[in-house]
Structure 1
Amino acid sequence: MTTTWGEGTEITPEAPKGLAWLRVLRRGIPIFLVLTIGMILKLALRVIERPLFGMGRPVTPYITQAACRLSLFFMGIPVKATGPRIKGPGAVVANHSSWLDIFTLNSRKNVYFVSKAEVANWPGIGWLARATGTVFINRDRREAKAQTDLFETRLKAGHRLLFFPEGTSTDAVTVLPFKTTLFAAFFTEGLRDILQMQAVTVLYHAPEGADRRFYGWWGDMEFGAHLLSVLAAKSQGHVELIYHTPVKVSDFKDRKELARHLEAQVRGAHRLTAPEA
């Protein structure tokens, strides 16, 4: 059991019982097949992409997008996206509520996630993350220069990096203060004048009658238990992705000012459109 920040009560994912296991199988089997086939196609096509385009990936990101859309379809979770999409070199930030963020954010835009290094070794998730081109980083100041160089290389290759400035997933109704450390990488001479950044607010609407934190995955919740709870749900809610107006990095004096602006965009939409308690 784990405690959320705002509600003050504990919540534990409900284990499937009886007929709920049929829903788990009905949703889980096609999702597993979609992800497996998608990864096989990606790995096969990367053999062609890599020698022809180097860092460029003109085809395989669309396989990721299609696999995520199909997975959400089989889960029964619709996604509504509004707002402009960033064009040209840029990075994206979003609030972080759940492992579902990977599916929802990938389903509407080709992005490459920035993740803590230990995720690479997580069962299942780590394999998917590596295959989809995730950038893994260590939160170690001694590696800051190498990580900045890596960001610059990926961004100049046309990769749109996405990271979660809260630093952890939440209960789906709370937005934590943005950590500013990673924003410093975008103020280098090679990026500051060419780069845009876009904030995205991710809003999860729980199934009717369920705790509004239903899709939140945080603290010491086990991934498997939460996954089963979502797959077993008798009915599903929906997700909103609100894309905010992109901003130029060069319009801000430093990382803290940029982080505050993007956090305000995320919080503003979250407060205005989040479902009532």
Structure 2
Amino acid sequence: MTPWQGPPPPVVPQKGAGDWLRILWRGTALGIVTFGCLLLLLVVRLIERPIFGWHRPVTPFITQFVCRMAFVILGIRHIVRGRQMRERGAVVANHGSWLDIFTLNARKRIYFVSKAEVADWPGIGWLARSTGTLFINRDRRDARAHNGLFEERLKANHKLLFFPEGTTTDGLRVLPFKTTLFAAFFADDLRYILHIQPVTVVYTAPRGQHPAFYGWWGDMGFGEHLLKVLAAKRQGSVEVIYHPPLRVADFADRKALAKACEESVRSGLSA
């Protein structure tokens, strides 16, 4: 999948002594909480998996704790609007940054659907695998195999979350939704029991910063972007808007469902 290029990223100013001090204490605190709790998660999972299989009654709460603490450490305000879906099904959202992982996990027990190459990324791949991320190849030829994986996880009452744009953006727009992954929800034994909840993630930059401050796209390096966020003297906010769930059976096909989801997500960003 080719990354979205978009406009040139905002210029990152030279860092002073204060910036490096913030990077040091925030980065250290975030690393201790993240990797310490995920080590605990792996230990608990050794007991949880043979007893409950795909069902995870304990470990998702560890993931939620890590993600909530991340915003406390970073100083980013986390706002939630709307009702979280209680029905069985999946969640779709716009994709603006690596921060989306923390943003969307902080309030809802979900499992991400990610492109296969993420599994091999240093650090991030390990985190993703340990929290139950489902890795797929975004290729139409693999659609049938993906459907089987989706069905298995959905029947275990997992709330799968995927980004239909297929790439990150600057967080200021919603790209057209790709429809391939929506096909899995139309399996005969799933379409009448599943709902899809569209979610809009809205980042507000720190005062005086470029509106796309939290956006991560194109050829931007992860390390550079992480340092920029850690160094920020003032932080902004992120708002998560849960839109009304859509019943899969109410739509004729995957294209109609994808379009309705895209319109809901786009309405939250434009508002």
Query: Residues 118, 9 of structure 1: CA spacing in aligned structure 2 closer, same or farther, 3 A cutoff?
Result: closer
1:52: Cα distance to partner?
1.1
Whole-angstrom distance in 1 between the partners of 2:10 and 2:75: 23
* Residues 132-176 of structure 1 deviation map (CA, whole Å, 9 limit, x = unaligned): 000000123332211110000001001100000000000011111
> Which residue does 1:77 correspond to in 2?
76
1:18: Cα distance to partner?
2.1
* Residues 57-108 of structure 1 deviation map (CA, whole Å, 9 limit, x = unaligned): 0000000000010011101111100101111311000000000000000001
1:237-252 alignment runs, 5 A limit = 237-252=236-251
1:236: Cα distance to partner?
0.1
Whole-angstrom distance in 1 between the partners of 2:268 and 2:60: 28
Aligned-pair identity in percent equals 58
* Residues 222-247 of structure 1 deviation map (CA, whole Å, 9 limit, x = unaligned): 00000000000010000000000001
1:201 matches 2:200: yes
* Residues 33-59 of structure 1 deviation map (CA, whole Å, 9 limit, x = unaligned): 001111111101111111111110000
**TM-score normalised by L of structure 1:** 0.94
Whole-angstrom distance in 1 between the partners of 2:111 and 2:147: 15
* Residues 1-29 of structure 1 deviation map (CA, whole Å, 9 limit, x = unaligned): x9963xx4442444533220000012111
Whole-angstrom distance in 1 between the partners of 2:12 and 2:178: 28
1:50 matches 2:80: no
Q: Which runs of 5+ in 2 are unaligned?
A: none
Structure 1 letter corresponding to 2:66: A
Query: Residues 195, 207 of structure 1: CA spacing in aligned structure 2 closer, same or farther, 3 A cutoff?
Result: same
Whole-angstrom distance in 2 between the partners of 1:243 and 1:13: 32
8 Å CA contact 1:3–1:11 kept in 2: the answer is no
> Which residue does 1:90 correspond to in 2?
89
Query: Residues 52, 9 of structure 1: CA spacing in aligned structure 2 closer, same or farther, 3 A cutoff?
Result: closer
Helix, strand or coil for the counterpart of 1:109? Answer: coil
8 Å CA contact 1:15–1:228 kept in 2: the answer is no
Q: How many residues align?
A: 269
Q: Which runs of 5+ in 1 are unaligned?
A: 273-277
Whole-angstrom distance in 1 between the partners of 2:18 and 2:247: 52
8 Å CA contact 1:12–1:221 kept in 2: the answer is no
Whole-angstrom distance in 1 between the partners of 2:170 and 2:20: 25
> Which residue does 2:166 correspond to in 1?
167
Structure 2 letter corresponding to 1:167: G
1:66 matches 2:82: no
> Which residue does 1:101 correspond to in 2?
100
RMSD across aligned C-alpha pairs, in angstroms? 1.4
